[in-house]
Amino acid sequence: MLARMAHSVHVPSPLRSYTGGASRVSAEGASLRALLADLDARHRGLRFRMIDEQDRIRRHIRIFVNAREAQSIDEALQAADEVHLVCALSGG
Amino acid sequence: MGANDDAVRYSRHLLLPEIGTAGQARLAAARVLIVGAGGLGSPAALYLAAAGVGRLGLIDGDRVDLSNLQRQVLYSTPLIGTAKVTAARERLLALNPGIEVIAHESELRAANAREVLADYDIVIDGSDRLGTRYLVNDACVLLGKSLISAAIHRFEGQAMSYVPGRGPCYRCLFSDSSEGLVPNCAEAGVLGVLPGVMGCLQATEAIKLITGVGEPLLGRLLTYDALDLRFREFRFARRVDCAVCGERPSITTLADAPAACTPADLPGLRIYSPAELRARLSDRQTGAPLLVDVREAHEFAAGHLADSLHLPLAELEFRHSELPADREVVFICRSGARSLRACQIAAGQGLTRLGNLAGGLAAWAESLTQTS
């Protein structure tokens, strides 16, 4: 049986209303797709804000696994990978 | 001011071998435009003026407001109501009379961007609208100017630099966005000192680009979280399919972001004043409309009208099916802008019985104060 793979997920400021204000949450998954599903189960609505209906990462969002940019949500995750969600900010 | 005074004024720069006389001469010959004389533009302008940047331009069409003074350190209380760029010019020339400060009292638009940017080599983006951010980026790419971009939200900031031919542009990072998806400071609030940190980083980058020292923030997004007091860096590459700096660009001329929707764009839309909406809600004959509050969750949690449905604007495009077609829907937000955009989205999905609370909950609260 596969061990559960928990990851630390860093949430950008504009999306923290979905995580009760938390800047870092935990989610499980062996791929980004699975992690996003788990994240949405824990924080309903969060996935919508980042991923469109065609499962593409929205154009004002970037997802980094550790410091490496994810090109699609089908990327595999390794144990202890940290996921950083980055959102365009507009304030000046 | 004589050369001797300059030797004293810039002595701490002249002591740095990385800057020295040659670097200070480069700063004196530099031409930097700051777009937005607000939270980011204030510290950036002050430090670049102090550093002796020879020509400093500021473009902004706003006037100083009391709510600016919590973070926009260029201004002081007696200047409320003054054009920001005029007030800023006076302040910067008082700090350093040896430089030229040009005040452009207008918003940056597609129509004036080419003319305004022509007199500068480096652009600092401190604007507070995404549409302006894309316009500044596209203008820099098309006109071959360097760009130092930063943006802020609540306790978080981000920054990146672009130099023509040396790395990715802002559109390579965030290829597109719309205002409804990304709240601004007026909607979300901001820690006053946050733009101080980010604007100083922009000034640092400008001085490095001008003097040619150090490693600029090219192809790197720097993020700053004031609550954790943590900086992070993420590398990103130029996109060959970038709409403006890619191999086959689709953006070859400058264009303004689509104008904000106006009520006139939506025939049949009912605009409610707070008093009209109160009367409508208490009219038992016609059946009450469904109130839909499109603000963010934390805004909704802080207070909302009874019986209103919460549906954040950013989710509306995907959740419009939750809205009834056979009942009037009245959208509500803080000031009436996001709710008007919501009306536009709902109309685009075929809903016809739509209303908007003009002035939003701010006007609603004010009307209660007036009537009590």
Region B76-84: mean pLDDT is 97
Instruction: Quick: pLDDT tens for B13-43.
Output: 999 999 999 999 999 999 999 999 999 999 9
* Residue A1 banded pLDDT, cuts 50, 70, 90: very low
Assess B43–A contact: CB distance below 8 Å, yes or no.
Answer: no
Candidates B84, B227, B234: best to mutate against A (most CBs of A within 10 A) is B234
R_g of chain B computed on alpha carbons: 23
The model's pTM is: 0.83
Beta strand B230-235 with B146-153: parallel, antiparallel or unpaired? unpaired
Assess B60–A contact: CB distance below 8 Å, yes or no.
Answer: no
Assess A22–B contact: CB distance below 8 Å, yes or no.
Answer: no
- Where do the domains of chain B lie, and which CATH numbers do they carry? 3-235 (3.40.50.720), 263-371 (3.40.250.10)
B185 is catalytic: yes
Interatomic CA distance for residues A40 and A32, integer angstroms: 12
ipTM score? 0.93
Assess A41–B contact: CB distance below 8 Å, yes or no.
Answer: no
Instruction: Quick: pLDDT tens for B283-304.
Output: 877 778 999 999 988 888 888 9
The larger pLDDT score, comparing residue B273 to residue B177, is at B273
* Residue B185 banded pLDDT, cuts 50, 70, 90: low
CB within 8 Å: A48 and B125: no
pLDDT at A88 over 70: yes
Task: Using a pLDDT cut of 70, give the percent of chain B over it.
Answer: 94
The whole-angstrom distance between B170's CA and the closest CA on chain A is 10
Question: In chain B, what are the helix, strand and coil shares in percent, each to the nearest 5?
Answer: 40, 20, 40
Assess A55–B contact: CB distance below 8 Å, yes or no.
Answer: no
The pair of structure tokens assigned to B154 is: 């609540």
Q: Looking at B140, B169, B185, B245, which residue is catalytic?
A: B185
pLDDT at B9 over 50: yes
pLDDT at A2 over 60: no
Instruction: Quick: pLDDT tens for B102-150.
Output: 999 999 999 999 999 999 999 999 999 889 999 999 999 999 999 999 9
Region B315-319: mean pLDDT is 82
Assess B232–A contact: CB distance below 8 Å, yes or no.
Answer: yes
CB within 8 Å: A49 and B315: yes
Q: In Å, how far are A37, B70, B81 from B66, measured between CA atoms?
A: 45, 8, 9
pLDDT at B181 over 70: no
Question: Computed from CA positions of residues B263, B268, B274, B276, in that sequence, does the dihedral angle turn out positive or negative?
Answer: positive
Region A36-62: mean pLDDT is 92
Out of A23, A68, A88, the one facing B174 most closely (by C-beta) is A88
Phi-psi region of B226 (alpha: psi -120 to 50; beta: other; left: phi over 0): alpha
Nearest CA in chain A to B242: A59
Q: Looking at B169, B245, B261, B333, which residue is catalytic?
A: B333
Which of B278, B305, B295, B146 shows the shortest CA–CA distance to B210?
A: B146
pLDDT at B215 over 90: yes
CB within 8 Å: B182 and A89: yes
Beta-carbon neighbour count of residue A42 at 10 Å?
15
pLDDT at B188 over 70: yes
For A6-87, CATH gives 3.10.20.30
CB within 8 Å: B153 and A49: no
CB within 8 Å: B128 and A90: yes
Nearest CA in chain A to B179: A90
Out of A62, A67, A87, the one facing B182 most closely (by C-beta) is A87
